[in-house]
Amino acid sequence: MNNKRKIQLNWSREAVVYQIYPRSFKDSNNDGIGDLQGIIDKLDYLNDGTEKSLGIGAIWLSPIYKSPMVDFGYDISDYMDIDSQYGSLETFNKLIKEAHKRNIKVIMDFVANHTSSKHPWFMDSRSSKTNPKRDWYIWKDPKPDGSPPNNWLSVFGGSAWTLDKTTNQYYLHSFLPEQPDLNWRNNEVKKAMEKVLEFWIHRGADGFRSDAAYHLIKDDQLRDDPPNPTYKGVKNSYKGLIHTYSQGRPEALETMNTFCSILGLHKDKYMVSEAYLDIPEMSKLYKACSNNLHAPFNFNLISLPWDAKLIRKHIDDFEASLSKIDWPNYVLGNHDKPRVVTRVGEKRARLLAMLLFTLRGMPFVYYGDEIGMKNEDIPLGKQKDLVGNRLTANRDGERTPMQWDESVHAGFSIVKPWLPVGEKYKDVNVKKELSDPISMLRLYRQLIHYRANSYVLLRGSYRSLDLGDNHVFAYLRELGDEKVLVILNFSKDEESVSFPYQKANVIYTTNREKENKIVNLKKITLAPYQGYVLEVKG
Ligand code: NOJ
């Protein structure tokens, strides 16, 4: 690394965000479950101010609030307290202090679409039709034949309605029956949730990841969702309907704007919202907040096929769709999707890491992806993700304990962890990879630090290049006279390409090669799945 300049990062555009699944990061109190003190103990690994650490600028914590854990925290029973499995409000204060000391911002999960069915609000709401909290959730009479009020489906399978015997009405749940949907058309709900945002902002939270943002508001007439004419799979599958009325309503955008206006009352806040969308739908979400403190996640790199042309097209189209003030982001993995190495293999995952850190915008990293952790196959009887056990794909595989070292339980805990540690942990772990010059961790660290020290990567423009090669994707990042050229070979074969430039310095390559070597761009040959980051002269 040559570039020693220290740039003051504008965190909500320039930080690398690292997602922590708190249950699986580090267990400090020997109960087999990760916790907040465990995260504090590992903050130096994430950023100790030197290039020995990963160098990220923000952490996003999956939910740590009080919860019956039916959906591991995405079912909240108290928005203003920490679950005792993870610590207390005091530990949270300490986490904020220690994170901020290291220039790490803290993003909280904001689960606004639904509460736990054990939340006192829902317990009150279900108790009688006249309870003051009745309208805080969405209740409806059965149809005359006793069936649910409409055809809406739960994302996790089956009807989105459950009949509650106490009052013989159905309540709506876009996810599990244990996650009843709040009624965002009710003003008291809005006020109560605004207080939640204020509560965490006052405790030092820097931003929020808005869960299930697209679901927040449903059609006021509860009209049936139309069938999906292109779907040929099993009956009652979520994909069998087009969710015109049960999600993505224009009013959801107004709600997002309310969140942003709260953020806008405070300095330097940011919100990213969860919705799996194509470019036109993302564009709508970009427009949701009038104060530009928000971006939707771009998850498309997770789902696009392995095809250089399609990936280039997506990035070009996405860039073209953004207004001057919209800020892009990219994601390779999270706690709901199979890990990147499992999806594409290790060599390709290295190439994607290079893509992630050299594109314009905010990169999101899922814990463990930086060391190349894989999904584990958890046998049926041992699975913990109820969503998977009951309904769709099990998500335990991507949530196994962080692999810190080769000691028993991978250094995550000294007792048996809540999920088994990865089979390959003796080879794939932080300690080992820190001293391995060609490890995935080394590549991540180098790219993250290079990016943090490079004005052109942080603030420069993006322009993809026509090479007449279907397998190589190359783009320029430019700022003033500076040019960084990224060349990525998506092919399993060697590929040669040429550029209208003479020479360039090799900053990084995914393959073992000496840094700062000069290459001739008139003809450059890339090994299978090789990527280059180059500084172009002239
Ligand atoms: C999206 C979260 O990422 C997922 O883990 C959760 O199950 C659903 N929202 C419901 O909250």
The arithmetic mean of pLDDT across residues 382-398, rounded, is: 79
Residue 340 makes CB contacts below 8 A (sequence gap 6+) with 332, 333, 349, 352, 366, 369
pLDDT reported for residue 6: 79
pLDDT in tens, 66-115: 999 999 999 999 999 999 999 999 999 999 999 999 999 999 999 999 99
State the Cα–Cα distance between residues 218 and 247, nearest whole angstrom: 6
Mean of the per-residue pLDDT values for the chain?
A: 95
296 exposed, middle or buried (CB, 10 Å; 0-12, 13-18, 19+)? buried
325 exposed, middle or buried (CB, 10 Å; 0-12, 13-18, 19+)? exposed
pLDDT reported for residue 2: 41
CB under 8 Å, gap of 24 or more: what pairs does 343-348 form?
343/302, 344/306, 346/372, 346/440, 347/510, 347/528, 347/529, 348/306, 348/490, 348/529
Q: Which of 136, 80, 130, 133 is nearest to 108 (CA)?
A: 80
382 exposed, middle or buried (CB, 10 Å; 0-12, 13-18, 19+)? exposed
Which CATH number does 120-172 carry? 3.90.400.10
pLDDT in tens, 202-245: 999 999 999 999 999 999 999 999 999 999 888 778 889 999 99
Q: Taking the complete model, does pTM exceed 0.85, yes or no?
A: yes
Q: Which amino acid is at 52?
A: K
What strands lie across the sheet with 472-479, from one edge to the other?
461-464, 472-479, 482-489, 531-536, 503-509, 518-520
Per-domain boundaries in the chain = 11-103+300-333+335-452, 120-172, 461-536
Q: Which amino acid is at 232?
A: K
Q: Which of 47, 55, 53 is nearest to 454 (CA)?
A: 55
Q: Which amino acid is at 205?
A: A
Q: How far is the CA of 154 from the centre of ligand 1 (A)?
A: 12
Rounded to whole angstroms, what are the CA distances from 383 to 35, 190, 342, 391, 522? 20, 36, 18, 13, 54
Which CATH number does 461-536 carry? 2.60.40.1180
- Please say if the pLDDT value at position 488 is more than 80: yes
Mutation to probe ligand 1, out of 79, 277, 336 (largest number of atoms < 8 A from CB):
336
Q: How far is the CA of 124 from the centre of ligand 1 (A)?
A: 24
Q: Is 352 helix (H, G, I), strand (E, B) or coil?
A: helix
89 exposed, middle or buried (CB, 10 Å; 0-12, 13-18, 19+)? exposed
Whether 427 sits among the annotated catalytic residues: the reply is no
pLDDT in tens, 265-297: 999 999 999 999 999 999 999 999 988 899 999
- Please say if the pLDDT value at position 389 is more than 80: no
Q: How far is the CA of 58 from the centre of ligand 1 (A)?
A: 21
pLDDT reported for residue 315: 98
pLDDT in tens, 307-341: 999 999 999 999 999 999 999 999 999 999 999 99
DSSP per-residue string spanning 377-407: ---GGG---HHHHHTS---GGGGPPP---SS
Question: Percentage of the chain with pLDDT > 90?
Answer: 90
- Domain 11-103+300-333+335-452 in CATH 3.40.228.10? The answer is no
Give backbone dihedrals phi and psi of 102, rounded to 5 degrees, phi first.
-100, 15
pLDDT reported for residue 537: 79
Please pick, among 164, 211, 326, 385, the residue that the annotation labels catalytic. 211
Per DSSP bridges, beta strands 139-140 and 531-536 are: unpaired
The 3 state secondary structure assigned to 75-104 is CCCEEEEECCCCCCHHHHHHHHHHHHHCCC
pLDDT in tens, 513-530: 656 689 999 999 999 999
Residue 18 makes CB contacts below 8 A (sequence gap 6+) with 46, 54, 56, 58, 59, 60, 364, 365, 367
Whether 48 sits among the annotated catalytic residues: the reply is no
pLDDT reported for residue 1: 39
pLDDT reported for residue 515: 60
pLDDT reported for residue 392: 61
Please pick, among 27, 164, 181, 274, the residue that the annotation labels catalytic. 274
pLDDT reported for residue 516: 63
Ligand 1 neighbours (beta carbon < 6 A): 71, 74, 111, 175, 211-212, 274, 335-336, 387
pLDDT reported for residue 390: 58
486: pLDDT confidence band, cut at 50, 70 and 90?
Answer: very high
Q: Work out the angle at residue 29's Cα, subtended by the Cα atoms of residues 31 and 117, and round it to the nearest 5 degrees.
A: 55
386: pLDDT confidence band, cut at 50, 70 and 90?
Answer: confident
Atom of ligand 1 nearest to the CA of 174: 10
The arithmetic mean of pLDDT across residues 450-467, rounded, is: 97
Q: How far is the CA of 344 from the centre of ligand 1 (A)?
A: 23
- Please say if the pLDDT value at position 62 is more than 70: yes
State the Cα–Cα distance between residues 67 and 414, nearest whole angstrom: 25
